[in-house]
Structure 1
Amino acid sequence: MIEKKHITDRFIKYVTINTESDPDNPSFPSSENQWDLAKVLVKELTDIGMEDVTLDENCYIMATLPSNIENKVPTIGFVAHMDTSPDFSGKNVKPQIVENYQGNDIILNEEKNIILSPDYFEDLLQYKGQTIITTNGTTLLGADDKAGITEIVTAMEYLIQHPEIKHGKIRICFTPDEEVGKGAHKFDVNKFDAEWAYTMDGSQIGELEYENFNAASAIVTISGKIVHPGYAKGKMINSLHIANEFIASLPPEEVPEKTTDYEGFFHLHNMKGSVEKTVLEYIIRDHDLDLFEQRKYLMQRIAFDFNEKLEQDLIEVDIKNQYFNMKEKIVPVMHIVDLVEEVMKEAKITPIIKPIRGGTDGSQLSFKGLPCPNIFAGGHNFHGRFEYVPVESMIKATEVIVGIAQKVAKKFT
């Protein structure tokens, strides 16, 4: 149905445009280079025949595929994000194409001895005989979420080229800054005007997700007092030592590398300090709202207890909520998930319905009134040098989008 070379070429065109977002810039978009991909996409959407193609002042692209049936059916949407994660470089991406993969080690960079191995990344073995696109070991790939963009554009193009496939009105949107948590902040749900939508932002083939973490950030600031170390007894307060005790006071097993499925965690992802001042940056995650609130309380309680013991207010904890579990917004409209499950099974894809150990634009959109489950885009090992995507998974994701359009037209006619 979908030509392999066509979807590969489109994907490579997108990932070679640097769109790394900037967590320290409050502007929209947070990096100017996101406009580069946005402009390419606007032209491409126009060229393939999409209507109402718009690019707003905040770098959100929206476009319409009009209905080709007489009966009125629900308007649905598909969403993906243009930025790549600032966790790893997205500049000068040089994709490598591995044809007919045979389950062997893939040398990403011979000079630096960087190897993508199924001994460590076992999921590779399920793609024997397929075409895999990898990095060259020095950057991320950008399948998160340029695979999703590729699939949405290709599906819209296919539907335009095959008017015999009946569908209702379809809206699409490509957002900036999802990777820095702002992707849905300025998403105009009223302008989008769909009854529900799907983010194409999942990982391996078959993933279908309607639960995600409740999420918060926590900045722990610890104040100390610097005194000449030769005369420090009874006077110096070393914030680094207090920081070490604070870290050790949190449950040691409740960290990302030791948790899975519905288990929540505290993740220390950055720390910077000196004797005088240390700052710890955490993210707090849990699927269960009550446990999520308990985690936030625990951090505040540890700080309070330390300050009591030290008889000084040396520790401050600033916690900000980021997003919430979209499950409560999706369960009342579970038919939008059931519909995708049917489409996947008809396409001979085994649905993998599981909670997202993260968040998507769909979480915030669901709370803004646009129910928005998440569908696989096909990539693996996001945010790093070992990221890869099988071309066949992108083709299957494209087929799922087309299948959803058909299914909605049939079910609601």
Structure 2
Amino acid sequence: MARVDFTHDPAARSWVESANGHSDFPVQNLPLGLFSPSSERPRGGVAIGTKILDLGAVAPLLPQDAGDAARLADSSTLNNLLAAGKDALRALRHGLFRLLTDPAAEKSARPALYPVDQCKLHLPVHIGDYTDFYAGIHHAVNVGKLFRPDNPLLPNYKYVPIGYHGRASSVRLSGEDVVRPNGQTMPPGAETPLFGPCKRLDHELEMAIWVGRGNALGHPIPIKQAADHMAGLSILNDWSARDIQAWEYQPLGPFLAKSFHSSVSPWIVTMDALGPYRIAQPARPESDPAPLPYLFDSDDQQNGALNVTMEVYLSTARMQADGQPLHRLSQGSMTAMYWTVAQLFTHHSVNGCNLSTGDLLGTGTLSGATDESKGSLLELTRGGKVPIRLPNGESRTFLEDGDEIVITAFAEASGFVRIGFGECRARIAPSPQWEL
């Protein structure tokens, strides 16, 4: 059920001046992250305008339940806080909102504020497992058409939330370079595969879903209880080596083409913060099958989608050197998901699989129905056949060394302020040299 309370009041103002009118981090957002000021230890914080509020430092200023939650965040990861569940996250949100909107609290709390540009950000949680879904139906159709023009979607797609087990060890924070991967490829007309750097490196426009409270092995998560296990969302760029993938993915699916790097934004926007932006799941075409009973819940269908907009920008090495602005490649929406977040949680666990606190679930590439909303270069260039022309005269089919991809995301709804997710940014670095 969508939840809206006093923390979403659009008229609320904070004594943290930079939060008022901030496009990403007004007081109505309060996303969670891990930071370290100067050379100090990492600990939990909340983004508020251009500042970060140290959760451990303000714990004594909060009501007991909120203070207890804040102390759980005073650690080198946020896993303990997320494991405490949605009630603890809600108590913390309520306590922080009151603290940051009460002028009488400013004198006591202001020493716990740090300028974000003077802090180092870290991966917010220890990620034990990573699953990437394929929930964007337009992306699935677009890619399917490249290989199966007459039959782009396989029969199982509209019955089963498709996913694969990704590589948690190579998830990195926004800002870290992506090293161009090496691997095997089979060029057209070749008789044997070649080894070398990927030539068709691509971005993928995705959102990351963080698992809060986990479930025990052998105990699936019913769809009506799925919301109890969701902590929040971040931006995800699950980089793809398309030429390596084309050679290796049959018959078992993605491997080296997907395991070399995944970039995630630093701030976790909680599910409570997203309450006003929940909308009805887009209706399926009448010809599509209804979800099987274990995947269907009427409230989830009415409130399970999210009105989150995502944008992908490119900056080439020449653009950076010339001081030119980022060029927007596409704009997409989470409403492109054929399955809701709750359906992903329930299906993932229906066989008894145990999700754990800090696990990362990727939505899959979220392309829209138009050319302007395609979430990967594979789609934008029709498999590399139609180059993208950039304002400075350059062109791209796939990413070159020195290129930088920046993804942003935000949520909007009538009668509420806009909240954002920050950015997920990474530059392509040259492939390492191998002696064979």
TM-score (norm 2): 0.23
Greater share of helix residues, 1 or 2? 1
> Given the two structures, how large is their TM-score scaled by the length of structure 1?
0.24
